[in-house]
Chains A and B, each alone.
Chain A
Amino acid sequence: MKKHLSKRNVLVLLILFTFLAAWNRGINLLYMMWALLGATLVLAYLLPRHALRGLKASRSVQSVAFEGDVVDLRIRLNNKGWTSRHMVEVVDALPFAAPEAREALSFVGDLPGRSQRSFDLKVECWKRGRFRVGPLRVQSAYPLGIFTVNRNMPNEETEILVYPKVFEVANLPILSASHLRHSGVEALSKVGGGDVFFGTREYRRGDSLKHIHWPSTARHGRLITKEFETRGSTEMTIILDLHRGANVGKEKESTFEYAIKIAASIAKYALARGHRIQLIAYGQKISHIPSASGLSHFAEILEALAELQSDGHLDYPAAMTEAANRIEDGTTALLFFSGHRIDKDAYFQALDLFQAKQVRPMGIFLDRASFLNHSWDENRDATVLADRLLSQGFVPHWIRKGQDLSAQFI
């Protein structure tokens, strides 16, 4: 009903009514009113068309930003016509902005003929992702707002990559999986860290000849090689759950968006301390950023995290199992449990596999109930998993919707 009750429809109805009334009674004053209203309608239809003639608009915007940043859009309007253009609207489609600001409208009251105007538009990057900005369109409903005419500006579509928001992780002990692990010593990434002698064994094809323990070889008459223990692996693997069902909540307040933020922040924290990070996620396609360290790698991780979508069908235990093949023994895995379809056996099996590879699971438990705004306890099964991790000596992190994430990692 509201849709049909537009100014245009009301005016058309009024015109019809005045005409019918004038015709029925032959009242000339009503005919005059009809003529005035009709003229208004005709000009309201024609003038916006004229208002857009010779108008060009362009926009420039930075190509990369972080979620929460305010970006400046510079909009230029050029009137190539000889006469002034009034009440010109410039509308830009900004999918990275908050829902209410995604159709950003700028209103220019008067643009004289043969002139140019520029102005800035400040927009907050509300959401991470890779976005196509635009189309940029100029529109006008001059002068009465009854008919709106709009025209898209060609070649005014650009891309912006919005990285996920990164919060400050104050402290997150990334423990070694070596023999020192129970002592609670944090692993450090140092050159030559893997030189602790562990024992000897028979030579296997492919072993380096420089590790052959020649005295034992001579003693046994066959090749015996030395074995070294890795000293506190400094690699962390982030395994994200991209299953559609795992993502609950809306827009930014969803489990997946929280997971992305946490992953990005922990990655930054770890890389800042010289650790190596790899990222594995099974969505529609497999996203795998191999292990590496350094600032450029952080950019790579951020870019990948910016673009990830929860569009997969692979259950998280299966994803963990798949990912296990790509994880070095003795490293740390950052796991996200969103409470979706908790098959304890499958999870335990995956965790067993991790244990077998001496991979340390760091569990982030996303409180599904809070994201669904449910009051009942939906996290019972997840609690079992948390208990399992706890029993292995790893403290799980519980994340609720609206929680201050940086406070969680002090």
Chain B
Amino acid sequence: MKTIHYKPVYIATYFLLLFATFAVVTLDQSFLRSVLSFIFWSTFLGLALMGGWQYRLSKSKTLSVTSNLFLFLGLLLLIMEIRSISLDRALVGFLVWIQAARCFTLSTRRELYFSYGMSVVLFIYAASASEESGFLIQIFCYVLSGIFVLLTDHVDQKLSIAQGGDRDKLLAGGHLPVKGWNVTFSIVALAILLYFLVPKPVPAGIEAFPSGGAWYYSNTDWDEEENKESDDGSGNDENTSGEFPVPDDKKSDDGPKPEPDFLDESQYGGFQRKFDINQPGESCFLNDIVFTVRSAFPFYARGKVFSTFDGRVWEDGLKEKEDLFPDENRFDLTRTAWDLTSLKVIELGQTYRIKALLPPLLFAAYRPETLWFSAKQIKIDAHDSVYSPAALRKGTIYSAFSKMQLVDGHPSGGKVPLPDPAPYLQLPDLLSSEIKKLGETLTEGISDPFAQAKQIEVRLKADYQYTLDTVLEDPDQNTLDRFLFETKRGHCEYFASAMVVLLRTLGIPARLVTGYVADDYSPITGYYEVRRLDAHAWVEAYFPNYGWVAFEPTPGSDLPLPKHNTLGFTALTKYIGDRIKTAIETNRNAWWAGILQSISDGFQRTQTFLSEVVAFLKSLASRFWQWFKDEGLEHFLRVLGFLLIVYLVYEVFVRFFYTRFRWWQIRAWREKDPKRFVCLCYLEMERVFQKKGCRRPSAFTPREYEALLSGQFQAAAEEVRTLTDCFQQARYGAHLPEHATLEAVSSAYDRIRRWAYAP
């Protein structure tokens, strides 16, 4: 086994193992625990590798025993942890201990490679489990230390076999022969280019879906929730306030302090049983992530549906919920068969990772068919809203599989019957006649219900302005009237409510839907990040031919299309742009908001300029293509034909006529001046080989040229020799070439000519 000679190998290994270990042990850990872990492992690995260096020299028994001791300790920990944490985490922890313990006796290259392999396994595990953007820094650190490792290992390998040069100096000094910054910079720059410019294909998702776990929701949770709901003393499961159940201690001022993980006012109002559109909640201004979701494309995560509206407050209007029971955590949500229409069915798998306490709603894209959730029982209502036994706790993971159709770019849950449309046609009692008239005005001349809905959606988007300022305003009773006819500005709930009411005035069944917009794709983690301020309200309208179809009347919001973004660069610019925009919106009064706005504007202008340039080039290309199809192709073919003819003429002329003509010219000298004839043949031969790329160098004698040609063109070597011999005789000899010589020259040149111009 080859021993390590070069000290920097140990230093590089230290960093590599440290980053791999750190990446694994700090998964899902708090900052404090991460810092403590870092301190512990950096010290431990440092001591272990120092021991390894000593072991290399002394083969100390003490170090060997220490290594075995820690291996045993690792085994003990594995046995202890396997009962309390998941198997994969326990095994990974065991690997961490093994590699650290082995460092005490690390002295050969084989052991070194074993360590590297182990670190790769650990790090890939960490990379696949982490969802934090900050992990990117760890990746950089790990790969760069890997580069450092490769570099030192290469030097060590060479120094172990080198006999001269800088060998002794490097071994004695233990320093690196290169400054690695330029290499590091080059690698990082190229990696960034590769990352952002290489298209990422649509994930295959083999054995990657579904995921679930972390929290189990038992039926006790149901009971607790129900108890909370009925704790108002009435025994009625309907909460008069319409709020989600909160414990008494939360409601009472003099009670104990609330549980830290309980639902608070920051929750979006649209997930409660009653929803006042004037009070959507503070969540509109909160930027913290509530869940991340992995899916192939952006979508609307549907939460709750409301059907009854009194002009200000929405109610879901449903009391009945159907119980669903799982088959190994798999819930089948298909209660009605998927009615296939001519429209294409789009499938979408989603895996949700809850990052903050959420209401007991299981969000999913249109229309959820299957759900993987760790619970004994869930519930579903007639609106396809799915309920969990309790509020979704942080760390919960669940998956959903949905199917949708696109009706002219609008997601739909497929064609389903609507036996009783009355609840979806209900109008507020105090609805003004102007609103009724407005619906007709907006859709004047349009008879198709779907076209009417689209028209209302377009007009609301175009004629009204989106703002969050209205959230803070003091509401009055005639909210919709004020919005539609006076202020013409408002938040998404105003737009959605207005469109539902307008559709209902036209006799189109409609309802309001709340949920989250999952379109904020992080190009770093690959997850869609859903924040509190992504809570949203939109509209579903019913059409007998399509079923319930989603509409988005809020300006600035577009229904997400099932399009996979393959270029990391595009995703990154969008992600950064969105983050800046959000930061400005939620911190308008901050001193840096103006600066950020200027940067954002500049960025926006650059992007717009680039987009215009691209659009111009595209249109240019498009116009050219159009011209090419109409006229250009004909011109092109003509030019091509002409060039072809020219080429053919040239080929025929040169290959056939010209060479023969030239040969005829030369032959004419055979009788008149045999010497000249031989010289001309030789010159022609030179010309032929010049065309073949072998020009006679000016300093070359005929003999040297012959050697050159014979080496390169062995097929013509004999003829070249004959011509050179005869040329030397004719050029420098005293006698005239004999008849046999002339014959030999003729035939040699003729063969060369035929060989050269052979097709």
Contact = CB atoms under 8 A, between A and B. Distances in A.
B205 interface: yes
B174 interface: no
A121 interface: yes
Given A107-B170, A109-B166, A119-B164, A27 B128 contact: yes
B207 to A, nearest CB: 8
A38 interface: yes
Interface stretch (A82-90, A201-209, A213-221, A315-323): A82-90
A106 B162 contact: yes
Interface stretch (B62-70, B135-143, B425-433): B135-143
A138 to B, nearest CB: 11
Interface in B142-195: 143, 146-147, 150-151, 153-155, 157-159, 161-167, 169-170, 177-178, 180, 183, 186-195
A145 B524 contact: no
A71 B180 CA distance: 37
A106 B195 CA distance: 38
A110 interface: yes
Contacts of A143: 147, 150-151, 154, 178, 180, 183
A144 B526 contact: no
Interface residue range, chain A: 35 or more
A39 B188 contact: yes
Nearest to A90: B165
A27 B526 contact: yes
B206 interface: yes
A141 B178 contact: no
B194 A29 contact: no
Interface in A367-402: none
Given A29-B127, A106-B165, A109-B177, A145 B153 contact: yes
B164 A37 contact: no
Nearest to B207: A24
Contact of A26 (B155, B164, B203, B524): B203
B128 A30 contact: yes
B165 to A, nearest CB: 4
B187 A36 contact: yes
Interface in B113-135: 120, 123-124, 127-128, 130, 135
Given A35-B191, A40-B187, A30 B147 contact: no
Contact of A39 (B123, B158, B191): B191
Contact of B120 (A14, A23, A29, A121): A14
Contacts of A252: none
A39 B147 CA distance: 11
Interface string A117-142: 00111110000000000000000011
Contacts of B163: 101, 104-106, 121-123
Interface string B482-505: 000000000000000000000000
A273 interface: no
A121 B190 contact: no
Interface residues of B, number: 62
Contact of B178 (A35, A87, A89, A90): A87
A292 interface: no
A17 B157 CA distance: 27
B165 A29 contact: no
Contacts of B198: 35
B525 interface: yes
B150 to A, nearest CB: 4
A143 B202 CA distance: 35
Contact of A141 (B154, B169, B524): B154
Interface string A266-277: 000000000000
B523 A28 contact: yes
A31 interface: yes
Nearest to A109: B177
Given A47-B183, A87-B155, A28 B124 contact: no
Contact of B525 (A23, A28, A104): A28
Contacts of B123: 33
B526 A29 contact: yes
A5 B536 CA distance: 55
B403 interface: no
A29 B135 contact: yes
A23 B128 contact: no
Interface string A37-50: 11110111001000
B745 to A, nearest CB: 38
Nearest to A44: B150
Nearest to B178: A86
A27 B125 CA distance: 12
B208 interface: yes
A36 B143 contact: yes
A63 B151 CA distance: 38
B445 to A, nearest CB: 46
Contacts of B419: none
Contacts of B758: none
A31 B150 contact: no
Contacts of A14: 120
A32 interface: yes
B165 A107 contact: yes
Nearest to B130: A29
Given A25-B208, A107-B159, A107-B165, A145 B203 contact: no
B522 interface: yes
B204 A23 contact: yes
Interface in A137-179: 141-146
Contacts of A89: 158, 162
Contact of A40 (B143, B189, B202): B143
B164 A75 contact: yes
Interface string A321-335: 000000000000000
Contacts of B136: 29, 32
A85 to B, nearest CB: 10
A61 interface: no
Given A31-B200, A33-B127, A107 B167 contact: yes
Interface of A: 7, 14, 17-18, 21-33, 35-40, 42-44, 47, 75, 86-87, 89-90, 101, 104-110, 119-123, 141-146
Given A25-B208, A32-B139, 18 more contacts: A23-B203, A25-B526, A26-B294, A29-B136, A32-B191, A33-B123, A36-B139, A36-B188, A40-B191, A42-B190, A107-B158, A107-B159, A107-B170, A108-B166, A120-B164, A121-B164, A143-B150, A143-B178
In the A-B complex, the 3 residue pairs with the smallest Cβ-Cβ separation, listed nearest first, are A109-B177, A145-B154, A28-B526
Interface of B: 120, 123-124, 127-128, 130, 135-136, 139-140, 143, 146-147, 150-151, 153-155, 157-159, 161-167, 169-170, 177-178, 180, 183, 186-195, 198, 200-208, 294, 296, 522-526, 568
